[in-house]
Amino acid sequence: MRSLGPRAEVAVAMTILGVGAAVVAAMHLTWPEPELPAMAYSVSGGEVSDLKPFEINDISGAAVELTPGSEGARLVRLSNPNSVDIVVLTLQAEPGQPLDEAQNKVPGCPPAVLTVVPMAEPVTIPPSGSVEVEMVVQIAHDVPSACTDLVFPLTYSGRAARA
């Protein structure tokens, strides 16, 4: 395999960062069955790369009840659609404004009551392969009563480079 050189490797890493997939999944205080997550992609910097962005899929599926001060977990599958190894350097998730059953935003419940701990260690994904990582979700101790039975959308994002 031909070496790209340091400048090109940085360009490839920045492209993967810019094109990295973001996935929206649902976190719930009572955790009803989630709908299929929406996929969102972004391109920035105008860099050209022969690598495709890695895929992020929340595969937790099962309902989990979270109470004030508790922790839960989301199982996330990272997939490499490329023909070379990649290293996922970072993976994080940001909670969005909670929604009620009618999908309306609830201003009395701030997204900050939910936090997701970023992935602790980089992971290598083989060509056309995937790995599963667990993302720890924490609920604040002082959750307003307006947050009961709400859906917290999560937007996943990450950064990867050629291994």
Higher model confidence: residue 136 or residue 44? 136
Tokens of 155: 């937007």
- Give the pLDDT score at 153: 84
Task: Give the pLDDT band (50/70/90) at residue 3.
Answer: low
What average pLDDT does the structure give for the chain?
75
Averaged pLDDT for residues 16-32: 41
- Give the pLDDT score at 49: 61
DSSP states of the chain: ----HHHHHHHHHHHHHHH--EEEEEEESS-PPPPPPEEE----TT---SPPPPEEEE---S-----TT-EEEEEEEEE--SSS-EEEEEEEEEE---B-TTS-B-TTS-GGGEEEPPPSS-EEE-TT-EEEEEEEEEE-SS--GGGTT-EEEEEEEEEEEE-
- pLDDT tens, position by position, 132-155: 999 999 999 999 989 888 888 889
Domain residue ranges of the chain, discontinuous segments joined by +: 5-162
Architecture per CATH, domain 5-162, reads as Sandwich (2.60)
- Give the pLDDT score at 16: 44
- Give the pLDDT score at 103: 85
- Give the pLDDT score at 110: 93
Of the candidates 87, 98, 91, 86, the residue with the CA atom closest to the CA atom of residue 75: 91
Higher model confidence: residue 92 or residue 12? 92
